[in-house]
Amino acid sequence: MSFLLKRFKVSLLTALLLVFVPFSTAACPLIDGMVDFNCDGQIRIGITGDSIVKGVGDEKGLGYPGRLAKKILSAAFENIGVSGTTPRRLRRLFIRNLPKGKVTTEKSSDLDYLIIEVGTNSYWDEEPASLTVRDIKRLKKTLEEKLEEMFSVAPLIFVSTLPPVRRDYQQPFIDQVNQLLLKKKKKLNVRIRFDKLPVNIISDDNLHPNAKGYARITKIVKRKVLKLFPKKASSLRSDLDNDNLYDEVEPARFGTDPTLTDTDGDSVSDGDEIFVFETDPLTANDLLTEDFLID
Ligand SMILES: [Ca+2]
Ligand SMILES: [Ca+2]
Ligand SMILES: [Ca+2]
Ligand SMILES: [Ca+2]
């Protein structure tokens, strides 16, 4: 009797776990616990912005994208930093060069995640902080649209607040930008905070982080990539037909039906055709069916 009760408890627990743990229904294979947002079998994270992304002043010459690549081996990190740029100039550069693969390399454009960290240089344009934030919003929107157009699935984009500088004349502007960014936190997906970094991580040029600063920034982003990114990404993905392919990527990337487990009706699920047997999920009666399924 107590044995039965124990078994009942265990299965109840399992049922509860199934209901409350979203990861149990995750589709498209996870890669080291990371959500493959565009479901192409790899994790690619782009970081775009100005010279701080580029890594100016980093004695190791890596910048934080390069440092992250050494810490999270199962993801590729693409440094898309452009020294001296502003959100407006960066947006124009993407519009002009993305189709030619010039801002990013071709392979780096098929991103699962993209971080935007830009705005510090807008101070020199002598415009109100609200225009800088408006330009960041436009940049994010453009990247979402263009990358979706080019690669079928848009990356999940995060915006960061700006790190402090050690310049009395420029810091008030940065504070204003950060305040406005945080006000639009939800809309802009401002989930990475650099505004709370201490000033002792700034190098002698009073602008760029020193090695310690780049290490601190790396640590902040690493935590987000491993914890926040999977949480946020899985909340945006579902798999209604349970074939291990997200609804959001089925028609766009594979041409399969998000409401049919087995689009071509050859009794092998869409997900198994793509990730296990590497067959065409849109062509029934291919080699697989003949060899393995028909006796
Ligand atoms: Ca991917
Ligand atoms: Ca599916
Ligand atoms: Ca399907
Ligand atoms: Ca099939």
Q: What is the pLDDT of residue 23?
A: 38
Predicted confidence (pLDDT) per residue in 66-107, tens digit: 999 999 999 999 999 999 999 999 999 999 988 877 676 655
- Same domain for 253 and 194, yes or no, is no
| Whether residue 270 has pLDDT greater than 70 | yes
- Tell me the C-alpha distance between 156 and 260, whole Å: 26
- Same domain for 126 and 215, yes or no, is yes
| Whether residue 263 has pLDDT greater than 90 | yes
Ion ligand 4 contact residues with beta carbon within 5 A? 262, 264, 266, 268
The C-alpha angle 101, 102, 105, rounded to 5 degrees, equals 55
CB 156 within 8 A of CB 136: no
Strand partners, 209: 202
Ligand nearest to the CA of 257: 3
Q: What is the pLDDT of residue 293?
A: 55
pTM (two decimals)? 0.86
Determine the distance separating the centroid of ligand 1 and the alpha carbon of 28, expressed in angstroms: 10
Residue 254 lies in a domain: yes
- Same domain for 190 and 254, yes or no, is no
Ligand nearest to the CA of 27: 2
Rg (the chain; Cα; Å): 23
Ligand nearest to the CA of 109: 1
Determine the distance separating the centroid of ligand 1 and the alpha carbon of 35, expressed in angstroms: 8
* Tally of domains within the chain: 2
Residue reference for tokens 């081996």: 73
Q: What is the pLDDT of residue 15?
A: 47
Handedness of CA 177, 180, 181, 187 (dihedral sign): negative
Look up the domain containing 219 and give its range. 43-235
Residue 23 lies in a domain: no
Across 94-122, average pLDDT: 84
- Same domain for 62 and 192, yes or no, is yes
Predicted confidence (pLDDT) per residue in 126-164, tens digit: 999 999 999 999 999 999 999 998 888 999 999 999 999
Across 99-124, average pLDDT: 84
Ligand nearest to the CA of 107: 1
